[in-house]
Structure 1
């Protein structure tokens, strides 16, 4: 069963049609919208500040979302995919963003809409990532613009795929309840 805990009276909340993996951790002041998924071994830790996730956000296996005590909330928009083992910490991520596997987005960074943060990239504290771009490297730098077709073809596709993947486990959970 997932570890879901209140912190100082703040209980995690989520919308409709969400998948919460049985071994993920969600604690404290966390609110997520509809059709979100938090996958195996992921941690969403709203203990020292708030975390807000929009609709159709997927937090993939081993990813960590946290914030900074009394300083930096974490705000994530709609249609955002946070890749395996990524760290998203005390920052703002707008709509239609792909945070690649193993990447890090640090405090007070802002990732504007229709952006890809490449796998392994490190977005340093306070960095502003302009919309419609791909950022890569350590530290992350803009490497090129994204076409509207790439936004629809890759960013939207991944967010939508995770809704489908979650449905596989929703069916399995119903079966497990009958055992």
Structure 2
């Protein structure tokens, strides 16, 4: 049951993620209601265009105000950034953790991932055409082979988004780091 006095945060977890576990659970434990899209099941089976249209519609219908808070992790950040390409700059506050910003590969792990439209964000940013939320910050681990810190920093430089590279961290920024970050980020005065 939703807490009518709590602020609601729109959350997009990583690929295959759930709203009520991990970071979503940490937000609930801090007294926030969590809305968003689980990146699994029916939503995951939608074509990419429908996924980003759904995220954009969620934001426009329920979170289009300057006090809105959005937190995205990994592939959830990729979805958010692509939804942002189809609307004006989001008026609220956005926190992107270990964002996927294009394709990546890791020879040691023998794995790679090429998301839909892997170069779109970079191309729009280079052309100065990527709409950016009014308040946005990114945190990425220095050893993150999925988010690739150099690519994330390049996106930040092109767009003016603040990027923090977390020393000694990989794709998982760690409970202690994220806990401290949430404490600071959630307590900011939004007026």
Same fold (TM over 0.5): no
Greater relative contact order: 1 or 2 (C-alpha under 8 angstroms, separation 6 or more)?
2
**If each structure's helix is expressed as a fraction of its own residues, which one has the higher value?**
2
Structure whose residues are more often strand by fraction: 1
Scaled by the length of structure 2, the TM-score of the pair is 0.26
User: What TM-score does the superposition give when structure 1 sets the normalisation length?
Assistant: 0.27
